[in-house]
Structure 1
Amino acid sequence: MSLGLLIRNLIYWLGVAVLTPLCFAGMFVFCWLPRRKRHIFGQTWAVSLLWLLEHVVGLRYRVVGAGNIPAVPSIICSKHQSGWETLALQKIFPPQIYVAKRELLWIPLFGWGLWLTNAIMINRSDRANANRQMLEQGLARKELGFWITVFPEGTRVRPGAPGKYKLGAARMAKQLDMPLVPVAHNAGEFWPRNAFFKHPGEITVVIGEPILPEAETGPEGLMKQAEAWIEARQREIGGVGPYADPKERAARRACVQPA
């Protein structure tokens, strides 16, 4: 860890400490605004932190497949490796809400912001009611014109380790008649789980063609399609960051060896 990287990370965290109370205080003060208007504060917070990451830490990103983003509200089905994607997806896609575990509501400011922005908060220990809540609240959000972001693995998974994909996103796509948009990225190679330090580099985000909920395809089939596409892209873009999986790094090096 160089002194320069330490200083850049400290500046980033100072920005977090300043921007977080300002943006979320604004959300509380203007909680009477329509739901779409409240999202301006959350999006401002996310975009501001992305700017700090890029221009202070040096953590950039590129998007492949932006043309695949549908023109109608859809289900964003994204890989989950770090905290970075919770920020970046808000800039890459139209206004959206998250499906998140209920425990996050107890995090000061952040959890309260989730509540004010109408996130779908579920109790993961009560699976039957969680599925019902996702569908009922998902329909209400769709009617308001929101996209819905789901991390199908349910938790952050380290690079190179496939998680267990749950069916919630596919069930919502099927029953709410919404396209399912798969998203792969390698953010965890630069921003590992629960890490204080973020590392410079370039994150790659790949957006796939929307998977339409065909009548003959059930939630299991939809999720298998999404999982297969996401994991294939993960292998293609992995192995570049300081926290990359050793096997993916070795595979990438082997690909670039001179003949």
Structure 2
Amino acid sequence: MALIRSVVHMAWMVVTVIPWTFAVLLVSLFSRRAAWWTAVNWFSVVMWGTRVILGVQFKVLGYAHLPLGKSSAAVLLSKHQSTLETLLLPTLMPHPLAFVFKRELLKIPFFGWSMARLDMIHIDRESRTEAMKHVIEQGCRLLSHGTWVIMFPEGTRMPRGQKGTFQTAGTRLAVQSGAPVVPIAVATARCWPREGFVKHAGVVTVSIGPPLPSAGRDPKGLMREAEAWIEAEMRRIDPEAYPSV
């Protein structure tokens, strides 16, 4: 049954992404911000399918921690376990988001074409110095215009119950821009695995932490604080993944 649900859900994503891609391309000719919210509508359609077709329910904690105001800034640092959080988090946020991602993703038919028309930060990972400079420059520009920047500090999707090396690009941007860091823990891999096609019904939890001020902070120390909160929260919202704790 899980395999059949997964096949139907994939078909749902493929069928819906095509018209939405053309909508994003058209709207982007007039407004990048409007194009973002058009894309979020597709994310919401995918999440509807995730609930109805796959039987996955979402539990969101700490929503009140998000900064208030149209001009507020935030650098979101999230745990990364699967594709699910990249589709879900934009539907939860009150501001447009700019993802930091590798440029190769723009080559994906339809999805990548849409991403290319949005105000995102795509980088060349082969040049770390240039990539960092680009993240800081573009990130500060976007934050000053009300777009929040979201990054996955471990750099890649991590298997459930495992931890990667947290990189400081996000906290460097936060310190440079003065925006607070908002740590986010996600237990998505219990239903939508990092690898493999089959998804499973269940409840996934997203927990949003209190903003961490960045003014006058050392990026490494700020990242250690964000990392400590994320990893402790992961053990709280998904204890089955950490049996030795």
TM-score range (shorter-chain normalised) is: over 0.9
TM-score (norm 2): 0.94
1:232-251 alignment, distance < 5 Å: 232-240=232-240, 245=241, 248=242, 250=243
Q: Distance in 2 between matches of 1:186 and 1:32?
A: 37
Cα offsets for 1:198-242 (capped at 9, x unmatched):
110000111100001131x210011000000000011112245xx
Gaps of 5+ in 1: 253-259
Are residues 1:33 and 2:30 paired? yes
Are residues 1:57 and 2:54 paired? yes
Q: Distance in 2 between matches of 1:15 and 1:194?
A: 19
1:134 CA drift (Å)? 0.4
Q: Distance in 2 between matches of 1:34 and 1:79?
A: 30
Are residues 1:172 and 2:173 paired? yes
Secondary structure of 1:30's aligned partner? helix
State the one-letter code of the partner of 2:37.
Answer: I
1:144 CA drift (Å)? 2.3
RMSD: 1.4
1:10 CA drift (Å)? 2.1
1:195 CA drift (Å)? 2.2
Are residues 1:6 and 2:3 paired? yes
Partner of 1:48: 45
Deviates more, 1:75-84 or 1:114-123: 114-123
Check the 8 A contact 1:239/1:251 in 2, yes or no.
Answer: no
1:112-131 alignment, distance < 5 Å: 112-131=113-132
State the one-letter code of the partner of 1:221.
Answer: G
Structure 1 runs of 4+ aligned residues shifted over 4 Å read none
Give the number of the structure with larger relative contact order, counting CA–CA contacts within 8 Å between residues 6 or more apart.
2
TM-score (norm 1): 0.89
1:1-259 alignment, distance < 5 Å: 4-71=1-68, 72-94=72-94, 95-215=96-216, 217-240=217-240, 245=241, 248=242, 250=243
State the one-letter code of the partner of 1:193.
Answer: R
Q: Distance in 2 between matches of 1:40 and 1:214?
A: 30
- Residue identity over aligned pairs, in percent, reads 35
Q: Distance in 1 between matches of 2:126 and 2:190?
A: 30
Cα offsets for 1:98-132 (capped at 9, x unmatched):
01111111111222222111210011121110111
Gaps of 5+ in 2: none
1:136 CA drift (Å)? 0.8
Secondary structure of 2:172's aligned partner? helix
